[in-house]
Structure 1
């Protein structure tokens, strides 16, 4: 069994990969029978890694894709030679090419987050958006969810929207630039890593009490930022459960068992009011 991660640069993907590995080990995939590949946010790298593993005779693969389109051919080629394929966390454009999908519905995740933002802003004000890598399933889906909710709130203006590639440092820099020229009531980030970067920039500008910050993934950094007042809210997509289920399904496929075509994680919005529920787990 092999796991292909889009990158390994933030807490979310590290938690996700660790949960896959832990469950795989519980199922007996240890040592050389389980390997993790880091795609480094590069489609060509991830495709090459998949091709290499298939050539070496891997039985089943779990892919957290760099791109919705770029790995489809590699998936189809793997399936042609009998390799079982689980797509994790972010869909590919031809999901039927794989055996199953485990992850969140990113559009509903984006909508759930933006509804909370609108509620907290009383449906008016200026917001900025920190997006994931352009064209990734997470970015596309969450942006659709954002837009579907914003269409109902004409008194809210998106005055800036840019990709920080899931990266904390990039998000900090973007937010610093926005703060110098804009009146902002909320920063809405598509993951907690970027939200934490935005919160740091806002803290350094002395504006924590005036600008709300939101993220996605309910990482420990994000949850602690809510406790400490730097962030206002985040949406959990059941990260560890996604990883566990993907390993289970991949093993089942390897052993010829039937699996559901998709398993969708449940969205839960966490704020200061309920954050202790998840921190106690």
Structure 2
């Protein structure tokens, strides 16, 4: 009898071990595009966070390549695979409703990261981890307004027009501008987050003979592109004040070199860790904040070393 009991216990323990091996956690992650510098840091940090758990957490990354239809298809594929949770960095913040509906219908936790959907409210089972882009725009423009003494001409480099990050950062800039009627916006065009596109735009403005005292950029990559165009045109460093957002390693180095006046640090690690942690809590049916906000921080020459 004792032998039979021992055998039954051994069989049970083997079954449990086998079950735990099958209970690896799988999270599907759809990124709007892999070739965006900031989103690369976000992706790397998510991987780093996933490795920190005692259980096995596998992240399956997919590149939506800035295609709304492709991103929806990726989410539907995750649902078909019966992943434990889905994390989405949306291509278009105005086109997330079908993604939300599909995940909620399947009963799979959904976390939007870095870009919050435009929908005013999100249903239960859906959370967001992002930063307040309005604040980023306010921070960079207030710094520039102070440095300009409340007067001058500026140009604005917009990100992808499909993203509310672009809308809200620019809105924050204009909220500050409303207090300074002697600061005029000479040009406002999209560089779609890209360094080379912003360099081309800035070069065109210089060639057209436009004069501006500052460049307000929705991200660091475009700010660096503007700095490169000005340097190529022989404009002395610091003559035109340039402000970016993100605090990427390249952006921080540009601040240290005096190529950018400032950047506004968007915490990729904070967002990435927050997204994975929120997904894990939702999988385990633990309470979560439906909206997790990661604060921005101003980067100047004086504190740039703290962001390296």
User: What displacement does 1:25 show?
Assistant: 2.3
**In 2: Cα distance, 1:29 partner to 1:72 partner:** 31
User: What displacement does 1:156 show?
Assistant: 0.5
**In 2: Cα distance, 1:8 partner to 1:121 partner:** 37
Aligned to 1:265: 294
**In 2: Cα distance, 1:230 partner to 1:266 partner:** 25
Tell me if structure 2 keeps the 8 A contact 1:10–1:193. no
Aligned to 1:238: 267
**In 2: Cα distance, 1:99 partner to 1:50 partner:** 14
Aligned to 1:41: 66
**In 2: Cα distance, 1:21 partner to 1:159 partner:** 42
Unaligned runs of 5+ in 1: none
Task: Determine whether 1:184 maps to 2:201.
Answer: no
Moved more, 50-59 or 151-160: 50-59
Aligned Cα RMSD in Å?
Answer: 1.3
User: Which residue, 281, 284, 294 being the options, matches 1:252?
Assistant: 281
Aligned to 2:14: none
Aligned to 1:50: 75
User: What displacement does 1:212 show?
Assistant: 1.1
* Count of residues paired in the alignment: 277
Moved more, 62-71 or 243-252: 62-71
Task: Determine whether 1:64 maps to 2:92.
Answer: no
Q: Secondary structure at the match of 2:51?
A: helix
Tell me if structure 1 keeps the 8 A contact 2:91–2:162. no
Task: Determine whether 1:83 maps to 2:90.
Answer: no
**In 2: Cα distance, 1:185 partner to 1:63 partner:** 38
User: What displacement does 1:6 show?
Assistant: 1.1
Aligned to 1:221: 250
User: Which residue, 160, 163, 175 being the options, matches 1:136?
Assistant: 163
Q: Could you list the per-position Cα deviations for residues 174-207 of structure 1 after superposition, in whole angstroms to 9, with x for gaps in the alignment?
A: 0101112210111111011111111111111111
Tell me if structure 1 keeps the 8 A contact 2:158–2:191. yes
Report the TM-score when normalising by structure 2. Answer: 0.87
User: What displacement does 1:11 show?
Assistant: 2.1
Q: Secondary structure at the match of 1:66?
A: coil
**In 2: Cα distance, 1:248 partner to 1:29 partner:** 14
Higher relative contact order (CA 8 A, sep 6+): 1
Q: Secondary structure at the match of 2:295?
A: coil
Task: Determine whether 1:73 maps to 2:98.
Answer: yes
User: What displacement does 1:29 show?
Assistant: 4.4
Tell me if structure 2 keeps the 8 A contact 1:59–1:82. no
**In 2: Cα distance, 1:190 partner to 1:8 partner:** 19
User: Which residue, 198, 201, 224 being the options, matches 1:174?
Assistant: 201
Q: Could you list the per-position Cα deviations for residues 111-150 of structure 1 after superposition, in whole angstroms to 9, with x for gaps in the alignment?
A: 1111111111111111101111113111111111011111
Tell me if structure 2 keeps the 8 A contact 1:5–1:36. yes
Q: Secondary structure at the match of 2:153?
A: strand
Report the TM-score when normalising by structure 1. Answer: 0.95
**In 1: Cα distance, 2:109 partner to 2:62 partner:** 17
